[in-house]
Structure 1
Amino acid sequence: MSLLRAALRSKSSSFTPKPGHGLPFLRESPRRFSTEAEQPSQDTTVDQIFRTTNTGLAYGRLQGINRYTLKTDIINTLEGCDLTLDDVKVDYSRLYAPLAMMIQFPSHSAYDYALKVIARKGRLYKLERADRGQWDFIAPYDGKTVLLQGIPRNAIPDDVERFLSGCDYDSSSLNLFLRAGFPDPVKVATIRFRSKTEAMNAFITKNRGFILNNQISLRVLQ
C-alpha cells in the first residue's frame, strides 16, 4: 500500500499541465479595446470649432452712411480687410435713399478686424452681423445704373429716351414708375448703362436737364 502511494505521488509531481488539460493557465487578461484614444481631446475639439467658424465668408451691415458716401470711402476706411468694390452693396429705400451698406468679408477674422478699425476711428459707423440671405436680397447697381428724379407724371418712356439722346445705355432696362411722395406721388426712372464711365458721362451731361419742362436730377446708384 505504501508502495502504491509513493508511485502515485511520484507520477503527480512529474506531471506538467498542458494547455487545454486540467486547470487552465493563468494568463494576463487581454487589453480591453477602447476608442478613447481616437476621440479628439477637448482642447482639439475647441480648436477645430474655432477654425471652422473663422473661415469662409462673413457678412455685415454698416450703418451711418449718407447719400454722398461712396463704396471707395468704406473700402478705404476698412483698409486691411481685403475688400473690393464687388464686396460692397448699398441698401436703398424705396425712394432710393441709402440706408446702409452690406459688406461681404473674406473671413470672420476680417469682420472682427473691421470692428476694431471702426472702434479705433471713433465709431463713425456701426457694423452689425448679417447673413448671406440679406446680402443676396440686395440688387447690385455697380455704378452702372442711373436714377432719374423729377419726371412729370404724364411722361412716357419715349420722353425719357429723348432726354438721354447721345448716351450709351440699355433701353430694355428702362424702368419708369411712381413712388409715394408728399404731397403727391412722384415719378422716377432707373436705367442701366453699358459701363460705369457711360453712367458717369450721362450724369455730367444730363443732370439738371428738362423733360417736358420739368428739371430732372440724376444720381448714379452704387
Structure 2
Amino acid sequence: MNLVCRNVMRLSASLRNGKPNQGPQVFLRDTARHFSSETEEQKDPSIDQKKEPSIDPFLQRSSSGFTYGRLVGSPRNTIKTDIINLLEGCNVTLQDIKFEYNREYAPTSVMVKFPSRAGFDAAIRLIGRKGRLYRLDKADRSQWDFLTSYDGKVALLQGIPRNALPDDVERFLSGCDFDASSIQMFVRQAFPDPIRLALVNFPSPTQAMHAALVKNRSFCLNNQISVRVLQ
C-alpha cells in the first residue's frame, strides 16, 4: 500500500508540474511490476509438476530379479529333472533347484529360484492345471542361500556298521569312480538305535547314479547298505 500511495502522490506532483504523460506511465509500470512480483512469489512450483504414480515396493522389486519359492509334496525319489518337467515353460534350470533335507537326509521340500515374479506366477497356474499334490509357496532369498546344493554328485550311504572304517566304505564302492578323500562318516539318532551314515562325492551325477544302482542293498561287512543320490 505504501508503494501505491507514493505512486499516487508522484502522479499528482507530475500533473501540477505540467508533465501529464510520465505520471500514469510510471504508476502503471510500477504497479504492474509490484503485482507481477507478488504473483511470482505466491506461485507453487509443484503445480506444473506431474505427479508420478505410486508403485508398490514389492511389485517394483519383483518386476526384475529373482523370485524364490518352496515346493512341497514331492515324492521321496524325486530328482531335479522331475522338477524341470513339472515346471516346464517357467525358464527354470538345474542350477535353480535345491532340495531341502532333514537331519536324516530325507527330502522335505524343494527350493526353486525363478528368473522373475512372472515365472513364479506361471508355476502357480501350471501346478493348478496339472492337478498335482504339490504346493508352491513364496520363500525368501535367505532360505535359498542357506541350503547346500549337492547337484546329484553326492551319494548317501545308510546303515554302515559301527565298526566300519573309511577303507571298508572304499571296498564297498569298488568298481565305482568316486573321490575317496571325500568320505564323511557320522551318526544320526534314530529309533530304536542310532544309524551310521556316510557321504561320498562323485565326479558327475551320472557316476553317482551308477553307484546307487549297482551298490544299493549290497553289504558292507555284515550290514546291508542303502545308497541314495542327494540332489
TM-score by length of 1: 0.85
**Which string of whole-angstrom CA distances, capped at 9 and with x for unpartnered residues, describes residues 171-198 of structure 1?**
2221101111111100111111011121
Deviation at 1:45, TM superposition (A): 2.6
- The one of 203, 212, 226 equivalent to 1:194 is 203
Q: 2: distance between equivalents of 1:8 and 1:197?
A: 110
- Aligned with residue 140 of structure 1, among 131, 134, 149: 149
* AA partner of residue 199 (structure 1): A
Secondary structure of the 2:159 match is: strand
What SS does structure 2 have at the residue aligned with 1:26? helix
Whole-Å Cα distance in 1 between the matches of residues 47 and 95 of structure 2? 48
Q: Distance in 2 between matches of 1:199 and 1:47?
A: 46
Q: 1:30 to 1:123 in 2, by over 3 A?
A: same
Unaligned runs of 5+ in 2: 1-13
Structure 1 counterpart of 2:130, from 121, 146, 159: 121
Tell me what 1:30 maps to: 40
Mean alpha-carbon deviation: is it higher for 165-174 or for 101-110? Answer: 165-174
- Contact 2:68 2:140 (C-alpha < 8 Å) held by counterparts: yes
The match for 2:8 is: none
The structural deviation recorded for 1:152 is: 0.7
- C-alpha distance in structure 1 between counterparts of 2:213 and 2:117, whole Å: 40
Which residue in the other structure is 1:15 paired with? Answer: 22
Aligned partner of 1:74 in structure 2 is 83
Other-structure match for 2:181: 172
Whichever residue aligns with residue 103 of structure 1, its letter is V
How many angstroms apart in 1 are the aligned matches of 2:224 and 2:218? 6
- Structure-1 separation of matches of 2:58 and 2:135: 27
Given the superposition, is the C-alpha separation of residues 24 and 57 from structure 1 closer, same or farther in structure 2, using an over 3 Å criterion?
same
1:140 Cα deviation from its structure 2 partner: 0.4
| Contact 2:72 2:109 survives alignment (8 Å) | yes
| Paired-residue identity, % | 51
Query: What's the TM-score once normalised by structure 2's chain length?
Result: 0.82
Query: What's 2:170 paired with?
Result: 161
What is aligned with 1:4?
A: none
CA contact (8 A) 2:185 2:198 kept: yes
In the alignment, the residues of structure 1 paired with residue 50 and residue 148 of structure 2 have an alpha-carbon distance, to the nearest angstrom, of 46
CA offset at residue 141 of structure 1? Answer: 0.8
CA-CA distance at 1:79 after TM superposition: 1.4
- How far residue 18 of structure 1 moved from its aligned partner, in angstroms, is 6.7
Structure number with the higher helix fraction is: 2
1:157: Cα distance to partner? 1.1
RMSD: 2.5
- Report the secondary structure of 2:54's partner residue: helix
Gaps of 5+ in 1: 1-6
Query: CA 1:152 to 1:120, structure 2 compared with 1: closer, same or farther past 3 Å?
Result: same
By how many angstroms is 1:170 displaced?
Answer: 1.8
SS at match of 1:133: helix
Work out the number of aligned pairs and report it: 213
Alignment partner of 1:188: what SS? strand
CA distance in 2, matches of 1:149, 1:10: 119
